[in-house]
Amino acid sequence: MEHYDVANPYFGVFLLFVITFGAFYATTILARLASRALAAKDTEKIKLSIYECGPEVTKQPNRISTQFYLFALLFLLFDVEIVFMFPWAINFKLLGWFGFVEMLMFILLLAIGFVYAWKKGALEWHNIK
Amino acid sequence: MDTAFIIETIVKIVVILLIFSALAGIGTYFERKILAFMQRRLGPMYVGPFGLLQVAADGVKLFTKEDIIPTGVVAKIFKIAPVITAATAFMAAAAIPFLPTFTVFGYTVHPIVADINVGVLYVLGVMAIGLYGPLLGGLASANKFALISTARAASVFISYEVITGLSLLAPLMMVGSFSLIDFNNYQVDNGWLLFSQPLAFILFWIAAFAETGRTPFHLVANDHELIDGFGTEYSGMRWGLFFIGEYANMFFISFVMALLFCGGFGDGSVAGALALLGKVAFFFFVFLWVRAAWPDIRPDQLMWLCWKVLMPLAVINIVITGFVMMF
């Protein structure tokens, strides 16, 4: 299959963005109108509160275990490395041995950081006790 | 830019929206049927022939259900989160060629919305943005089950994005282009990438289960621990949009896998187009099959698998591919 040559290929992406967000937002509004007209209404207090299995409902403060932040940091580290590797992979045949050896050194540095994180226990799931 | 191009693009987008929204509904029907047959049940069978109208009945029910916005949630963010999930799932469709070029009444149709030269990067990026749906929905719910689910969703999605990126690097080195059409053309001349890059294919496939949040990585809305996770507080069509997003994501990632690794539509004949649809149907079936066959794994096992098994394997695959290509 040959490529589809147009002046502005990203215009389609923009249109898709506008139309999908518009269509799905309109769907929620339509559903709200339909349910207002058809559904039984019930404003009982407990029903409208947040879901809970028995105990009295309290609003949760958005506190998450620090374990998850460690994974986020690792992700930042490795994903930035991968972003560097994408242009190299595309031009792999062009760069030849020079590019390959450079990338091997880059991967070596990455591996040192990875082994350090592993040994430090950043990849374990810690017990919160 | 001429008007014909704009109208053509809008028509293509509307067709994709309608087809894949309908497919998401029919996908739930097939999921229930296949799971039922694997458990020696019959599945939905009362509404219409073979229970086929169950999809329509579910749609009507979702649409006319009372729209509950609980007290205590952050209403604006709560309302926008399902829209983000559904819309970002469909935005991945822009760079995917769904069929080979064909001609209707002398007018050549390219079944791709935007033929951008960074297609693979675009699909990966948009799928990453899909994280914001569960993230915002869960945090705005002010519910502890939703909160745990959100934290898990974020860690799973971002961890497995490293795997998708690394596993695609080796095929990218061989093909030398980000465009999905170039991947397809490369495989016409050189055979399927599935055979030259089996490890990359398996890594990408495993990561696809995590990126779409399917069993065995269905920790985000693990029914027996987290009720429905980030969807706990949602009802009616808002919850339905999360569902449409999930199923559309499954279909699009099946298309991406078929195009990247399994030859796509080949040389573009009618047989090739049918083969592409068959491959997509097979990948979709495997999503359901795995759900019937495997239990969920624990979050710590998920992280162990990602960082200590799959990531080193992906890096080793890149190095081996490099050496083989240099010699």
Summarised one tens digit per residue, pLDDT across range A15-54 is 888 999 998 899 888 888 888 888 777 777 777 777 777 6
Rounded CA-CA distance B150/B136 in Å is: 8
Is the ipTM of this structure higher than 0.90? no
- B-chain residues within 8 Å CB-CB of A31? 62-63, 67, 236-238, 240
- The answer to whether residue B174 scores a pLDDT higher than 60 is yes
pLDDT digits (tens, 9 = 90+) for B93-150: 888 888 887 777 777 777 888 888 888 889 888 888 888 888 888 888 878 888 888 8
- B183 touches A at CB < 8 Å: no
Confidence at residue A69, expressed as pLDDT on a 0 to 100 scale: 82
Per-residue pLDDT band at A117 (split at 50, 70, 90)? confident
Contact check, Cβ <8 Å, B14/A20: no
* Angle made by CA atoms B77, B128, B95, in degrees to the nearest 5: 115
Q: How far is A118 from chain B (nearest CA, A)?
A: 8
Task: Give the pLDDT band (50/70/90) at residue A59.
Answer: low
40-59 in B: which are within 8 Å (CB) of A?
none
The token pair that represents B94 in the structure block: 């822009």
CB contact under 8 A, B325 and A38: no
User: CA A2, CA B274: separation in Å to the nearest integer?
Assistant: 19
Contact A27/B233, CB-based, under 8 Å? no
B75: tokens are 């209403």
Q: B41 to chain A nearest CA, in Å?
A: 31
**Chain B residues inside the 8 Å CB shell of A25:** 83
pLDDT at residue B248 greater than cutoff 80: yes
The pLDDT of residue A84 is above 60:
yes
pLDDT at A129 over 70: no
Indicate the helix (H) or strand (E) that contains B102.
strand B102-104
Q: Which 197-216 residues of chain B touch chain A by CB within 8 A? A: none
The pLDDT of residue B5: 81
> Are B67 and A74 within 8 A, CB to CB?
no
Distance, in Å, from the CA atom of B236 to the CA atom of B245, rounded to the nearest integer, reads 15
* pLDDT score at B1: 62
Q: Residue A127 has what pLDDT? A: 66
Mean pLDDT, all residues of chain A: 82
8 A C-beta contact, residue A80 and residue A110: no
Nearest to B302 by CA among B294, B293, B310, B312: B310
What average pLDDT does chain B have?
86
> What is the distance between the alpha carbons of residues B1 and A31, in angstroms, rounded to a whole number?
36
pLDDT reading at B159 higher than 70: yes
Name the one residue in this structure whose structure tokens are 């509160």: A49
A6/B115 Cβ within 8 A:
yes
pLDDT band per the 50, 70, 90 thresholds, residue B202: very high
- What pLDDT band is residue B213 in, cutting at 50, 70 and 90? confident
- Taking the Cβ of residue B68 and every Cβ of chain A, the question of whether any pair is shorter than 8 Å is answered with yes
pLDDT category of residue B204 using cuts at 50, 70 and 90: very high
Q: Which one of A9, A17, A78 has the shortest CB-CB distance to B115?
A: A9
pLDDT > 70 in chain B, percent = 99
Residue B308 has pLDDT above 60, yes or no: yes
Look at residue B292 and tell me whether its pLDDT is greater than 60: yes
Nearest CA in chain A to B320: A104
Which of B143, B226, B320 has the most A C-beta neighbours within 10 Å, making it the best mutation to test the interface with A? Answer: B143
Name chain B contacts of A16, Cβ cutoff 8 Å: 13, 90-91, 93-94, 113-114
With 80 as the cut, is the pLDDT of residue B252 above it? yes
pLDDT value of residue A128: 59
Structure tokens at B299: 């979050």
CB contact under 8 A, B155 and A72: yes
CB contact under 8 A, B308 and A21: no
Give the phi and the psi of residue B109 in degrees, each rounded to 5.
Answer: -105, 130
